[in-house]
Amino acid sequence: MNLEKVVFGFFVLLAATLNFGFFIGDLADPRVHNIVELFLAVVVNLIATVLKFGDRTQIGAVLLATSLVADLQLLAAVGVWVYATQATTAGLTPEMTATMVSLSGGALFANIVSVLLLIVETVSFRRH
């Protein structure tokens, strides 16, 4: 068993599950979207991105691209949360929450593509 592949797969899957946990629930209800889970999703996604550097294969390049997309969208979701809670007097309105969760949904889609690519790569792996 390749420990590097286990760690890589762990972080890719953890990133997707954390993002899913934040995303699920009523789109505009901030009570069902735990901000700590969003921050954990960002951190784990960034770790997964770092782990994807160095893979010089075509599938590695696409994995890195999906991770960068997820990072960008999750960071934008955090930016919306910071703006809503720190820069406005209205706070986290249903509209701001919907924007934040929608950005997380885009990141979730990128995470799912990343997991699917990882599965394809694993299934197509041949021992020499």
Share of the chain above pLDDT 90, in %: 82
Share of the chain above pLDDT 70, in %: 98
Model confidence pLDDT, tens digit, residues 74-104: 999 999 999 999 999 999 999 999 999 999 9
The pLDDT of residue 114 is above 70: yes
Q: What is the 3-state secondary structure (H, E, C) of the chain?
A: CCHHHHHHHHHHHHHHHHHHHHHCCCCCCHHHCCHHHHHHHHHHHHHHHHHHCCCCCHHHHHHHHHHHHHHHHHHHHHHHHHHHHHHCCCCCCHHHHHHHHHHHHHHHHHHHHHHHHHHHHHHHCCCC
What are the residue ranges spanned by the domains of the chain? 3-124
What mean pLDDT value characterizes the chain? Answer: 93
The pLDDT of residue 128 is above 80: no
